[in-house]
Amino acid sequence: MITDTVAEDVVLGSLQTALSEEVKHGDLERLVVIRTSSRRRSVLYFVGLASDPTSCRWVVKRPNVTIRQDDLASPLHATAQYEGLRRLHDGLARAGGAVRAPRPLAYLAEIEAFAMEYVPGHAITELMGPRALLDDDTLLRAVGAAAGALRAVHSIQAPQSSHLDLPDLERRALARGARLLESAGLPGHGQWFARTHELTPISAGSRVLLHGDFAPENVVLSSATVYCLDPDLTQEDWAELDVVRFLLMLFDAPLFVAGGGLRQAQWLRRRATATFLDAYYGGAPWSGALRPLMVLSLITRWATRDAGITERAPRLAVGRRLLVRRHFMSLLDEVASPSWPAAHR
């Protein structure tokens, strides 16, 4: 697979073909790449017209399918990502409401990419800076909107009610977390792996079509619309896997890693957690699967970040490793408590 950047004229030539039926010919000749964003998992080309070079109208995305990481599946091929976006867009459009997805335009086989309309607004990650400590209402409202968006995503295919064997799920999740911690050479506390569900063998759960990477960076808030980005929609499983993914990436924001020792940052993180869960479950009891899945997800994320520290910034490795270790150990102490997450409600 080709995973590096492609020359802008090649990208624009491919996009011209995709837009030939909805953009007049004269404008097709005026397409320009406004900016390029090279990320670990993809390369994005933001495209507009030469007559208005500051306004983006389309995005071309080329996934890097060679990426491997323990805490998230490798990116899907462009064809699968295009199909997932089409399915999400159509499903949310049929449902109506304020939750939408960018309109997919075409799979661009010649550059192993796909095109979609650009959506305006701010990703939730843009609201997770130091200013949130002074104006927490904005972030909390955004987190609540994200929970509503996840409910909408989980509703495009009818959820299937099922019996959830909590003791078995907890046993498997905690055992896997312990093995991963040991193989990564990271320190651990015994209380992280304490069992809590021996006496509650069966619980009600919902199996849904998972988003696959429901993270704050993939939720964009516009004036009257919440946009969901980058869906996989390839797996049916417990809804809590998407819920935990969002919370994991919320916890991993620089604001909460670097500022984790600040009482105000801790309060905001905990309040955001409760806000998200209250909005997602809509008054229903929070699932008992959250604690073991969160413990496993935190350990997996920690191992992934620890392994990448030396590679990305060798000169800062010692300090960064200590900061990350303090962050994840503190979170695991908190999340592994039998009262989590209800203690922060």
Q: CATH 3.30.200 spans which residues of the chain?
A: 8-117
Could you tell me which of 142, 118, 101, 132 has the C-alpha nearest to residue 37? 118
pLDDT at 40 over 90: no
Rounded CA-CA distance 20/106 in Å is 11
List the CATH code of the domain at 8-117: 3.30.200
pLDDT in tens, 100-134: 999 999 999 999 999 999 999 999 999 999 999 99
Parallel, antiparallel or unpaired: strands 226-228 and 219-221: antiparallel
Neighbours of 125 (CB within 10 A): 19
Could you tell me which of 168, 172, 238, 177 has the C-alpha nearest to residue 201? 168
Average pLDDT over residues 91-107: 97
Q: CATH 3.90.1200.10 spans which residues of the chain?
A: 122-344
Q: At the fourth CATH level, which superfamily is domain 122-344?
A: Aminoglycoside phosphotransferase (APH), C-terminal lobe (3.90.1200.10)
pLDDT in tens, 220-236: 999 899 999 999 999 99
Parallel, antiparallel or unpaired: strands 226-228 and 99-100: parallel
pLDDT computed for residue 317 by the predictor: 75
Phi then psi dihedrals of residue 52, to 5 deg: -145, 70
Average predicted confidence (pLDDT) for the chain? 93
Rounded CA-CA distance 282/103 in Å is 28
Rounded CA-CA distance 88/47 in Å is 23
- R_g of the chain computed on alpha carbons: 21
3-state secondary structure 310-332: HHHCHHHHHHHHHHHHHHHHHHH
Q: What percent of the chain has pLDDT over 90?
A: 79
Structure tokens at 100: 């939408």
Taking the C-alpha atoms of 58, 64, 70 and 76 in order, what is their torsion angle to the nearest 10 degrees? Answer: 70
Residue 54 DSSP label: T
pLDDT computed for residue 112 by the predictor: 96
Beta bridge partners of 228: 219
pLDDT computed for residue 93 by the predictor: 97
Residue 230 DSSP label: -
pLDDT computed for residue 1 by the predictor: 40
Beta bridge partners of 122: 221
pLDDT computed for residue 115 by the predictor: 98
